[in-house]
Amino acid sequence: MDSPRRLMAGAMKAADAPKGLRKGTVRRVFQFSARHRGRLVLFLALTVVSAVLGVTSPLLAGRVVDAIVNRDQVAVVVWLAVAIAGLAVVGAILGVAERWQSARIGEGLIYDLRRAVFEHVQRMPVAFFTRTRTGALVSRLNNDVIGAQRTFTSVLSGLVTNVIQLVLSLAVMLTLSWQVTVLALVLLPVFVLPARRVGRRMADLQREAAGLSASMTTQMTERFSAPGATLVKLFGRPGAEAEEFGARAGRVRDIGVRTAMATRWFMTSLQLVSALAQALVYGLGGYLALTGRLAPGTVVALALLLTRLYTPLTALANVRVDVMTALVSFERVFEVLDLPPMITEKVPGRTVPEGPVSVEFDGVRFGYPAAEKVSLASLEDVAVLDQRGGVEVLHGVSFVAEPGRMVALVGSSGAGKSTIAGLVPRLYDVDAGAVRLSGVDVRDLSFDALRDTVGVVTQDGHLFHDTIRANLAYARPAATDEEITTALAGARLTALVASLPDGLDTVVGERGYRLSGGERQRLTIARLLLAQPRVVILDEATAHLDSESEAAVQEALAHALAGRTALVIAHRLSTIRAADQILVVEAGEVVERGTHDALLAAGGRYAELYHTQFAHAAA
């Protein structure tokens, strides 16, 4: 019998059973699975037939025994044996068909859920990603999605199968002998109560093991990344790191041994109880058969039906736990899907007029959204979300970058320069005022039009763990090798790529760490050149480079900015002397504007920043 194993699984789930669910979760589950409704109906029909066949076989076995005892004709026994074999074959075929349908439904649900979550997350604002733990978000796409699928299909089939088997087995057993049936039911608590008690302890151990495994995963993820490994090499204690990891791994090992032994003892005990129950059935049934009140075949049928009575009874005892577990997995997925993306596309969206593009900020006011609008406590691994946010950081910012001109933003750290730059490609939406490209509000543009018009180079120069070709083509998948070569030449990378053994097919490593800082930055410039945007935003693109790398990047930037409207955030003021207009931003306001020479002559905040920077450089 496999009832002890099922009992253990159910009892362990009971210890972790959730207490409540959001209203409407069940309705949403069925709405989400509506596309698979036809397969679900067929799946349930196959399950019902399989359950009926499972109860029929013991009755035929009993008939065989009676035929032998009564010395019926050989043909009767043969035909009964053939019938049992036929049921076995049909049952096997139904089992394969049932598994096929179950797999189609389950994998279909995984696909639907993963696709829905991935597409939804892609629409979330940058603030969502700055707050969310990546591991927790990936877990929603993997563990919760798979948990929802597996439990959904297993609960659905298990519930139907067990209910039918229980009803049919109980009805048939009562018909055959109510005395034996009552005896079997009296022994049921001996199965259920130990399972609940041991299950709680097992669940505690498994919960601890899961927490330790998560900690080990976090430690490995952080220490095995390129920046983490570098930090450990420079400041860490490899011996202490190994000891910490070893202590957790050792505890998981000990829990594994204890779990294995507890499971073995538990299953042995329940198998013993099951054997005793069958012995009682044979004893009472045998007594009734010897006294002429029961046929010998009926005793055999009752003993076989006993296995089909205990298994569904013990499984149904935990059906609420199984259902709740499935619903919780769905709820955790729905929780992500219910978080509004904030940045939405107007349909139909407008396009940017042809030709050079102007960038206009008109009385822009903006405050970063509060955590409750862009994040979830469960994804941040906190009990309560940060209540800060919503405070205005830009106060009526207005300026115009004329087509083909460069506007530079300078100011203290935290003044709002990067915030201004992030509003142009709609990483966020303004709270008041407007950002316009050639007179069109960016909120009215289609996402494709906005991406085609605006290109950004950030100071970190992020690259994917992929080839140089793939990283460049990310900006324009249809680009030809000739166009890629031209972009590399514009970014002054032709010699570097030619020197690499695999050329364009060289893998750059995680975040591009196989390249130097200057090489990474020039590769992001090549990506921008390949995209050919009409508006370029440079967010301190040379802030962390040495003088030689900066010179190479500046040469590449000069090529990238030629003929394009540019918004440049500069840390080194020497790089923006030639800007057509310089805006000095302080505390979310433009406090000065003009050319380099005019601002120096004015002797205001820009002159102060400039002289302070060059005084430090001279020192």
Q: Is residue 347 part of a domain?
A: no
For 488, how many CA atoms within 13 A lie in the half-sphere containing its CB? 21
| Rg of the Cα atoms in the chain | 35
The model's pLDDT over 446-500, given as tens digits with 9 standing for 90+, comes to 988 998 899 888 877 788 888 888 888 888 888 888 888 888 888 888 888 888 8
Query: H or E stretch including 568?
Result: strand 565-569
Are 35 and 91 in a shared domain? yes
Please say whether the beta carbons of 403 and 453 come within 8 A: no
Helix axes 188-224, 3-15, angle to 10 degrees: 60
Are 331 and 472 in a shared domain? no
- Listed in sequence order, the residues at least 6 apart from 535 whose beta carbon sits closer than 8 Å to its beta carbon are 357, 359, 424, 437, 453, 454, 455, 564, 565, 566, 567
Are 311 and 365 in a shared domain? no
Q: Is residue 471 part of a domain?
A: yes
The model's pLDDT over 39-88, given as tens digits with 9 standing for 90+, comes to 888 888 888 888 788 778 888 888 888 778 777 778 888 888 888 888 88
Are 321 and 368 in a shared domain? no
Are 330 and 447 in a shared domain? no
Please say whether the beta carbons of 349 and 445 come within 8 A: yes
Are 368 and 308 in a shared domain? no
Please tell me the total number of residues recorded for the chain in this structure.
619
Percent of the chain scored above 90 by pLDDT?
A: 13
The model's pLDDT over 512-547, given as tens digits with 9 standing for 90+, comes to 777 877 788 888 888 888 888 899 998 876 665 666
Q: Is residue 611 part of a domain?
A: yes
The model's pLDDT over 378-393, given as tens digits with 9 standing for 90+, comes to 676 665 666 666 688 9
Are 127 and 180 in a shared domain? yes
- Measured at the alpha carbon of residue 222, what is the angle toward residues 218 and 224, in degrees to the nearest 5? 115
- Tracing tokens 């570098």 back to the chain, one arrives at 230
If one counts every other C-beta atom within 10 angstroms of the C-beta of residue 401, the result is 24
Are 61 and 130 in a shared domain? yes
Are 446 and 364 in a shared domain? yes
What pLDDT is stored for residue 196 in this prediction? Answer: 58
More confident residue, 340 or 235: 340
Are 400 and 320 in a shared domain? no
Q: Is residue 302 part of a domain?
A: yes
Burial class (CB in 10 A: 0-12, 13-18, 19+), 68: middle
Please say whether the beta carbons of 329 and 144 come within 8 A: yes
Structural domain of residue 600, as residue ranges? Answer: 359-377+389-618
C-alpha dist (Å) from residue 58 to 90, 404, 507, 586: 15, 86, 63, 85
Among 388, 380, 385, 391, which residue's Cα sits nearest to residue 416?
391
Local confidence band at 3 (pLDDT 50, 70, 90 cut-offs):
very low
Distance CA 164, CA 51 (A): 6
User: Does position 21 have pLDDT exceeding 70, yes or no?
Assistant: no
User: What is residue 507's three-state secondary structure?
Assistant: strand
More confident residue, 591 or 99: 591
Please say whether the beta carbons of 322 and 21 come within 8 A: no
| Average pLDDT taken over every residue of the chain | 79
User: What is residue 565's three-state secondary structure?
Assistant: strand
Q: Is residue 481 part of a domain?
A: yes
Please say whether the beta carbons of 279 and 125 come within 8 A: no
Q: Identity (one letter) of the amino acid at 69? A: V
Q: Is residue 353 part of a domain?
A: no
Domain at 366, CATH number: 3.40.50.300
Q: Identity (one letter) of the amino acid at 291? A: T
User: Does position 616 have pLDDT exceeding 60, yes or no?
Assistant: no
Q: Is residue 405 part of a domain?
A: yes
Are 101 and 211 in a shared domain? yes
Domain at 173, CATH number: 1.20.1560.10
Query: H or E stretch including 596?
Result: helix 596-602
Distance CA 406, CA 564 (A): 8
Query: H or E stretch including 98?
Result: helix 74-122
Q: Is residue 527 part of a domain?
A: yes
Distance CA 421, CA 367 (A): 14
Are 372 and 315 in a shared domain? no
Burial class (CB in 10 A: 0-12, 13-18, 19+), 144: buried
Per DSSP, 142 falls in state I
Distance CA 435, CA 343 (A): 14
What pLDDT is stored for residue 305 in this prediction? Answer: 80
Among 528, 519, 523, which residue's Cα sits nearest to residue 564?
528
Total number of domains in the chain: 2
Burial class (CB in 10 A: 0-12, 13-18, 19+), 277: buried
C-alpha dist (Å) from residue 457 to 494, 522, 554: 20, 10, 13
Q: Which two tokens stand for residue 504?
A: 């364009």
Please say whether the beta carbons of 196 and 11 come within 8 A: yes
